[in-house]
Amino acid sequence: MKLLDLLNLNCTLCAVQATSKKRILEIICDTASTELQDLSTYELLTSLMAREKMGSTGIGNGIAIPHGRLTTSNKAVAVVAVTEQPIAFDAIDNRPVDIFIALFAPEQECQAHLATLQNIAQLFSNKVFCKQIRKCTTAEEVFALIKQAS
């Protein structure tokens, strides 16, 4: 699956004001809960934190792909959040993160989940694309760029 298959404008955030790893993950989960109405923000946060305990999802170059598996939902959702200021996120290159692409996927869809993660990593490995994302001032601009690149 491609990122655009799981993302909509309501799940695209720009100029987010968050100063900690926990806070940005809470904002992401709160946003995702509007699409995954059978799950609470807390349940979604628990799924992301379980994955973060295994190792940071900060992949370097200011990008993180937090992801969680859902045991009680059969719907996959993505949330893209660009923060106003980079946040310490324990990324593999020890650099702070300002582009977050979160993925919530049903536990039984392991192969699709991995393919989607690969698609996201490939899309955001393009430095020119990331530079354009960082220049955006609205969620609409971020979403339009992702749509154009997909």
Residues annotated as catalytic are 67
Tell me how far apart the alpha carbons of residues 144 and 133 are, in angstroms, rounded to a whole number. 10
Backbone angles phi, psi at 111, to 5 degrees: -65, -45
Q: Phi/psi zone of residue 62: left (φ > 0), alpha (ψ -120 to 50 degrees), beta?
A: left
Write out the two tokens for 22: 């926990």
Strands (E), the chain: 12-16, 58-60, 63-64, 67-70, 77-87, 97-106
